[in-house]
Amino acid sequence: MVSAPPPFDFHGWRVLVAGGSRGIGRSIALGFAQAGAAVSICARGAAALEETRLRIAAHDVTVHAQSVDLAQATAIQAWVDDAASALGGIDVVVNNASGYGFRDEDEDWLANFNVDLMAAVRASRAALPHLAGSAHPCILHTSSISALRPRPGGPSYAAMKAALSHYTTSQAQALASRRIRVNAIAPGSIEFPGGLWDQCRKDDPTRYAEVLAKIPFGRYGTPAEVAHAALFLASPWAGWITGQTLVVDGGQLLAG
């Protein structure tokens, strides 16, 4: 959750966050809600989805939550249409979900292709008719610093995040004439309860320490720090920014 009052006012805005029930997506959804936006989230896990819905509702904003398998095109279309109806339109779409496939197996490649890449393509496509009616339309994708350098482990994850970053630039160019801005955020290693690095700290403390040693700021990032970047990129303060991937990593990429 955003730890300080956000410097932006999103009252009257309608925001969709795919993969919004935990971690980075949850913080982004809560950040927009804290700033006054109506928010729709989707995810597969019902318990986390409901818990986050209640946290968003506590900010006294309109909230919509729907259980969705983001690997399914028809489910994405239904969520976007239902969310637009519940919120009264769409201003911002945040594509944050991941298939979290890290093996060099067909199953992992397909999971990442369907969720990291195609879910973003499909949600964007479904939202375009609704974004056309917005005064400040914006699409945000969650990429990764893994997209920006070779990765010996998790090639399928890195490759699909790289494809997502490239899609960001192509999509931004295609939609610029319609004044729809498109940007991505590339987080570094982000730690939160139940997340990958939290689990790594418990199961593989040696690797956890090795990665930590490569982060110049000397700590893992937090979901709220990624949410801060998302709110900025969606805001009018970033109104002349499109087609960019913003790295949020405490200098991790600089260390190689």
Looking at 98, 143, 165, 189, which residue is catalytic? 143
- 202 catalytic, yes or no? no
Q: How far apart are CA 193 and CA 22, in angstroms?
A: 9
Clarify whether 157 is annotated catalytic.
Answer: yes
Between β-strands 138-142 and 181-187, what pairing exists: parallel, antiparallel or unpaired? parallel
Tokens coding 156? 């399928």
Kindly give the residue spans of alpha helices, DSSP state H, lying in the chain. 23-34, 46-57, 73-87, 106-112, 119-131, 155-175, 196-203, 205-213, 223-234
Q: Is 189 a catalytic residue?
A: no
Q: Determine which one of 27, 40, 124, 144 is catalytic.
A: 144
Q: How many Cα atoms sit within 13 Å of 203 on the Cβ side?
A: 7
* Cα R_g (the chain), whole angstroms: 17
**Active-site residue, selected from the candidate residues 21, 40, 124, 161:** 161
Catalytic residue among 98, 146, 156, 157: 157
d(CA 89, CA 129): 10
Concerning whether 220 is annotated as a catalytic residue, the answer is no
Q: Which residue has the tokens 């397909």?
A: 110
CA angle in degrees (0–180, nearest 5) for 139-143-147: 140
**Which residue numbers are catalytic?**
143-144, 157, 161
